[in-house]
């Protein structure tokens, strides 16, 4: 009787290969494109649409386009293609605005150093990334300002910000926004969770006020009200005003992102740090913020993407950003023609897309890396 | 090794921890009621009691993770007040091990151990790392030093937490249910570590349900119920001949 109930395995079950169509390209296509009649029809319809629409678009941008011309005459003859010659002719203006030609090397230098720092800062595994961060958030802005604006002591002629324009202004606005809004946002987020009522109230009021009004309102306020808040002898620069506006605006949104990260962190981390004798700044700087900020990288990058789009709005208070420079370039009578505007806006769209898509791709990459490395 | 015998009512400056008439409320809830307890240097105290009885609250008052509202707590000669400097001074000398480990998941095991010595004790990085490796060897996991906490088992994480606390060279160690979150087969490795620590003369307060550990290691067992100390006794008499009805009931429920 006991023999009938007992069982002891003497050999393992054989390991069989998986069924066909469970992996590989065919399996993927079957699962994702042709899983049902409806999905097969949708796939085929989409394919037809793409095949109909894509070739004319590519032809417009490449084979039918005018790639080089001294002025708009050739573009007016070839109206079925883009007029890239216009972009090439205006490229310097689109990059620098009215920045004096003899001083444009300064812009190039600042942009090159900035690019190096960003690559250093963002490359995983690069040595001493802390230094890169420190320089990007402290020394670099000062150096960039001195170089771009000029300094009599260093023998660099002053270039009034009214002359700045194009991609230079877009980048300056974005970098100033990023460099100032992140630390300010962190402080506001900490302030909002502070035990001190005055600090908390001030943070909440600032954040809710800024989040409650449109960005354009902030820009107009910065433009007209900032001069009222500072001594009469010091009139804030025309470009500085929207920069202050964008930094404050972005900081409020950043603060909410950071607060979200702080809330994700359990009490245990605070208690673990406190029990080791870490005081508040050490606890925040070494334990809490490194974790909270990495958890909200997607949100922070999302804010940066939005901020870069918002830089186009500084034109309404008189700054010449890239898009505004493009609009100005259209006014050149030598380059008037029906294809000019379409070309210009497609180019502008590509520019913003490349920058913003790069940012979101990077954030996705960092997310994947963190998900893989840490926590099991 | 000699075990110092310390009377319950001793309040001399030589004690490691002295609670005097301590009360604590959470809102309207009276969490600690008139706690009087003096822990001598080198003494091992085990605190037990039903859940919600206030035993965790009691040891969390020692390093001010919780504030008491009345009475006084003197730790290593420093009275705990709202003064942040005093709190920091006490926390530097008091190590704590939590039920949920509370390791820092973004740092390696070694960095977890060296963080406080480097930033709080201002120890050179090399020395801190040497110290950390010594203590990780002591808790028998030096080979895990470059891993992240999430890659370790619960028992290993808790031993790291013990090593991390020891890196600050504390005079007093607090254990808040250190084995309650562990799988049964990992409890022993943590208890062994704590036993060896006790053998070296560390002043310890341990909140635990591990009665075998209490019997073997404790100098005195404190039974808390409903926020008040019900009975304090040496482990032998405490387990074999409990005096109070509530102690008897509690022991009958956890000892089978």
ipTM of the complex: 0.90
- Say whether A276 and B148 touch across the interface (CB within 8 A): no
- Say whether A278 and B106 touch across the interface (CB within 8 A): no
Distance CA A320, CA A328 (A): 9
Distance CA A89, CA A73 (A): 13
Mean pLDDT of B16-33: 93
B29: which strand partners?
B26
pLDDT bracket for residue B6 (50, 70, 90) = very low
Distance CA A31, CA A217 (A): 49
**Stretch (H or E) spanning B114:** helix B109-119
For residue A285, the chain B residues in CB contact (below 8 A) are none
- Say whether A286 and B95 touch across the interface (CB within 8 A): no
- Say whether A279 and B88 touch across the interface (CB within 8 A): yes
- Say whether B106 and A374 touch across the interface (CB within 8 A): yes
Q: Which residue has the higher pLDDT, A161 or B157?
A: B157
Distance from CA of B245 to the nearest CA of A (A): 36
Distance from CA of A274 to the nearest CA of B (A): 7
Nearest to A90 by CA among A358, A369, A348, A329: A329
- Say whether A272 and B115 touch across the interface (CB within 8 A): no
Residue of A nearest to B152 (CA): A376
For residue B88, the chain A residues in CB contact (below 8 A) are 277, 279
Closest partner residue to B119 (CB to CB) among A286, A294, A373 is: A286
Q: What is the pLDDT of residues B164-216, one digit of tens each?
A: 999 999 999 999 999 998 988 899 999 999 999 999 999 999 999 999 999 99
Reported as half-sphere exposure (CB side, CA atoms, 13 A), residue A312 has a value of 12
User: For chains A and B, what is the number of CB pairs under 8 angstroms?
Assistant: 67
- Say whether A374 and B96 touch across the interface (CB within 8 A): no
Mean pLDDT of B52-68: 93
Nearest to B214 by CA among B186, B179, B183: B179
Q: Is the pLDDT of residue B255 over 80?
A: no
Q: What is the pLDDT of residues A217-248, one digit of tens each?
A: 999 888 888 888 877 777 778 888 889 899 99
Closest partner residue to A286 (CB to CB) among B94, B115, B165 is: B115
Residue of B nearest to A268 (CA): B102
pLDDT block averages, 10 residues each, chain A of length 376: 72 81 75 86 93 90 85 83 88 89 89 90 80 86 88 83 88 90 94 92 94 91 83 78 91 94 91 94 92 87 90 89 91 86 92 92 83 56
For residue B119, the chain A residues in CB contact (below 8 A) are 278, 282, 286
Tokens of A126: 């690069």
Q: Which of residues 271-300 of A touch B (CB under 8 A)?
A: 271-279, 282, 286-287, 290-291, 294
- Say whether A277 and B92 touch across the interface (CB within 8 A): yes
Residue of A nearest to B121 (CA): A277
Q: What is the pLDDT of residues A154-180, one digit of tens each?
A: 888 888 888 888 999 999 999 889 889
Distance from CA of A269 to the nearest CA of B (A): 6
pLDDT in the model for residue A21? 63
| Chain B touched by A373 (CB under 8 Å) | yes
Q: Is the pLDDT of residue B57 over 50?
A: yes
* pLDDT > 70: percent of chain B: 95
pLDDT in the model for residue A20? 66
Closest partner residue to A271 (CB to CB) among B88, B102, B164 is: B102
For residue B102, the chain A residues in CB contact (below 8 A) are 268-269, 271-272, 275
Distance from CA of B95 to the nearest CA of A (A): 7
pLDDT in the model for residue B10? 42
pLDDT in the model for residue B22? 94
Distance CA B161, CA B168 (A): 12
Tokens of B1: 């090794």
Helices (H), chain B: 55-62, 84-93, 109-119, 125-138, 154-166, 184-199, 211-217, 235-240, 245-254
- Say whether B88 and A374 touch across the interface (CB within 8 A): no
For residue A268, the chain B residues in CB contact (below 8 A) are 98, 100-102
- Say whether B120 and A282 touch across the interface (CB within 8 A): yes
For residue A374, the chain B residues in CB contact (below 8 A) are 105-106, 148, 150
Asked if A106 and A114 count as a contact pair (C-beta separation under 8 A), the reply is no
- Say whether B120 and A268 touch across the interface (CB within 8 A): no
pLDDT in the model for residue B8? 40
Distance CA A104, CA A173 (A): 18
Asked if B21 and B187 count as a contact pair (C-beta separation under 8 A), the reply is no
Buried b (16+ CB within 10 A) or exposed e, A306-332: ebbebbbbbbebebbbbbbbbbbbbee
pLDDT bracket for residue B1 (50, 70, 90) = very low
For residue A272, the chain B residues in CB contact (below 8 A) are 98, 102-104
pLDDT in the model for residue A376? 39
pLDDT in the model for residue A72? 80
Q: Which of B90, B98, B105, B119 to mutate to test the interface with A (most CBs of A within 10 A)?
A: B119
Asked if A172 and A99 count as a contact pair (C-beta separation under 8 A), the reply is no
Mean pLDDT of B130-152: 93
């Amino acid at each position: 009787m006991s023999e009938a109930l007992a069982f002891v395995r003497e050999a393992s079950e054989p390991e069989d290969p998986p069924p066909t169509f469970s992996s590989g390209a065919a399996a993927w296509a079957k699962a994702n494109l042709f899983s049902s009649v409806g999905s097969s029809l949708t796939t085929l319809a989409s394919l037809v649409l793409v095949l109909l629409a894509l070739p004319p678009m590519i032809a417009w941008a490449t084979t039918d386009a005018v790639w080089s011309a001294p002025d708009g005459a050739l573009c007016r003859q070839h109206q079925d293609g883009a007029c890239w010659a216009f972009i090439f002719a205006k490229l310097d203006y689109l990059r620098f605005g009215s920045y004096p030609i003899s001083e444009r090397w300064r812009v190039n230098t600042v942009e090159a150093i900035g690019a190096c720092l960003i690559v250093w800062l963002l490359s995983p595994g690069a040595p001493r990334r802390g230094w890169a961060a420190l320089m990007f958030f402290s020394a670099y802005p000062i150096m960039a300002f001195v170089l771009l604006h000029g300094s009599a002591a260093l023998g660099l002629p002053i270039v009034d910000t009214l002359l700045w324009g194009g991609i230079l202004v877009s980048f300056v606005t974005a970098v100033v926004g990023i460099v100032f809004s992140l630390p300010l946002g962190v402080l506001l987020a900490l302030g909002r969770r502070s035990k001190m009522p005055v600090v908390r109230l001030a943070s909440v009021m600032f954040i809710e006020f800024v989040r409650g009004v449109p960005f354009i309102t902030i820009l107009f306020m910065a433009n007209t009200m900032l001069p009222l808040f500072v001594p009469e002898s010091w009139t804030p620069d025309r470009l500085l005003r929207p920069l202050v506006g964008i930094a404050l605006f972005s900081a409020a949104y950043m603060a909410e992102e950071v607060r979200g990260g702080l809330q994700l962190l359990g009490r245990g981390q605070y208690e673990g740090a406190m029990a080791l004798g870490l005081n508040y700044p050490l606890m925040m700087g070494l334990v809490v913020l490194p974790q909270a900020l990495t958890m909200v990288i997607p949100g922070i990058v999302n804010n940066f993407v939005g901020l870069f789009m918002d830089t186009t709005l500084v034109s309404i208070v008189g700054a010449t950003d890239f898009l505004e420079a493009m609009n100005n370039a259209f006014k050149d009578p030598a380059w008037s023609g029906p294809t000019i505007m379409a070309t210009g806006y497609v180019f502008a769209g590509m520019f913003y897309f490349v920058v913003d898509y790069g940012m979101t791709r990077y954030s996705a990459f960092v997310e994947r890396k963190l998900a893989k490395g840490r926590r099991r | 090794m000699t075990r110092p015998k310390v009377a319950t009512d001793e309040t001399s400056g030589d004690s490691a921890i002295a609670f005097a008439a301590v009360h604590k409320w959470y809102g309207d809830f009276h969490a600690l009621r008139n706690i009087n307890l003096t822990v001598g240097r080198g003494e091992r105290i085990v605190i037990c009691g039903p859940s919600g009885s206030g035993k965790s609250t009691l040891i969390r008052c020692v390093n001010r993770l919780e504030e008491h509202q009345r009475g006084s707590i003197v730790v290593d000669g420093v009275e705990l007040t709202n003064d942040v400097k005093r709190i920091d001074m006490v926390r530097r000398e008091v190590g704590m091990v939590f039920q949920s480990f509370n390791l820092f998941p973004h740092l390696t095991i070694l960095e977890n151990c060296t963080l406080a010595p480097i930033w709080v004790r201002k120890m050179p990085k090399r020395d801190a790392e040497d110290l950390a490796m010594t203590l990780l060897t002591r808790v028998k996991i030096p080979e895990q030093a470059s891993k992240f906490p999430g890659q370790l088992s619960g028992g290993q994480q808790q031993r790291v937490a013990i090593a991390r606390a020891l890196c600050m060279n504390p005079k007093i160690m607090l254990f808040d249910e250190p084995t309650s979150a562990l799988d049964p087969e990992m409890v022993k490795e943590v208890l062994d570590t704590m036993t060896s620590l006790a053998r070296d003369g560390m002043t310890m307060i341990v909140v635990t349900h591990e009665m075998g550990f209490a019997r073997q290691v404790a100098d005195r067992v404190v039974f808390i119920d409903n926020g008040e100390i019900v009975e304090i006794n040496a482990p032998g008499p405490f387990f074999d001949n409990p005096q109070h009805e509530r102690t008897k009931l509690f022991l009958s429920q956890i000892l089978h």
